[in-house]
Amino acid sequence: MATLADLEAAIDTLLDHPLGLGWYQLVRRVEDKAYEAYIFGLCLRAARELGATVVLRGIAGPPLPFIFRGAPGQIHSSSKNFGFAEFSLNGRRFELHADVEFRGTSTVTHELDVAVIRGEDADRCRLEPDDPPARSLVAGWECKFYVGNLSKMLGRAFVGLIDDMGSNVRLTGLCSNATHPQLLTYFSPQSRPRARFELTPLQSSNEDVFVNELKGALKDVAQS
């Protein structure tokens, strides 16, 4: 099983901070938050492999260090210099965030562990403080690091969340270091989020599947 040290080493490599290794901070240095930051890093890898120039930002200035949230928060929160990333593909701007809250089609607020959103919507929500609307979401993931078995309840809850985000979302999934046979079955219909289990720095082939899947979704959005 991947350890906190494995996750932190992967975060450092995937983040590729301009100042080198060690220039990031987990507000809560625990496995579940490190796992979210690791999935964030895999998303950065996908953007870079598509040829995008990824720029690391902070809500209140240069990300020195790049700070990963310790709990769900609003995209415009400046209580700390929370980090996010921006990149462009085919003239379309995107941002990558962790632990940001969204406003669903029902107007209920939902948190996504890692999300790609449209850049213009992110700008608007910082200038006129608000939660990003459902239509801004391009891709989103629930990220769960478990020492034991996954809970079946995770599947139903995540499907309900994604259903409230509308029909414009290109890619969603539940990522975990663990697996669960019944959850694999539950997520098997094409209309449901993807199950990406046993996704860790120790499973490079599973990382490749995740990255290539996101690359395909981003290319589709950028070309639409």
Q: Name the nearest CA neighbour of 198 among 173, 176, 172.
A: 176
Nearest-angstrom CA–CA distance, 99 and 113:
5
* Digit-coded pLDDT (tens) for 57-73: 999 999 999 999 999 99
Average pLDDT over residues 166-185: 90
pLDDT at 155: 85
Q: Where in the sequence is the domain holding 12, given as residue range(s)?
A: 4-223
Query: At residue 81, does pLDDT exceed 80?
Result: yes
Q: What percent of the chain has pLDDT over 70?
A: 100
State mean pLDDT over 32-47. Answer: 98
Beta partners for 55?
Answer: 86
Please count the structural domains in the chain. 1
Query: What average pLDDT does this structure show over 176-187?
Result: 89
CB 121 within 8 A of CB 135: yes
176 SS3 class: strand
Say if residues 95 and 116 touch (Cβ distance below 8 Å). yes
Any idea what the CATH number is for the domain that residue 60 is in? Answer: 3.40.91
Query: Is the pLDDT at 152 greater than 80, yes or no?
Result: no
Q: Which of 147, 184, 117, 4 is nearest to 173 (CA)?
A: 184
Phi, psi of 113 (to 5 degrees): -65, -45
pTM above 0.95, yes or no: yes
Helices (H), the chain: 4-15, 31-49, 119-127, 153-163, 181-186, 204-223
- State how far the Cα of 42 lies from the Cα of 114, in Å rounded to an integer: 10
pLDDT tens track for 107-136: 999 999 999 999 999 999 999 999 999 999
> How far is the C-alpha of 145 from the C-alpha of 217, rounded, in Å?
24
Which pLDDT does position 4 carry in this prediction? 97
CA-wise closest residue to 150 among 178, 130, 127: 178
CB 216 within 8 A of CB 223: no
Using CA atoms, how far apart are residues 161 and 192, in angstroms rounded to an integer? 11
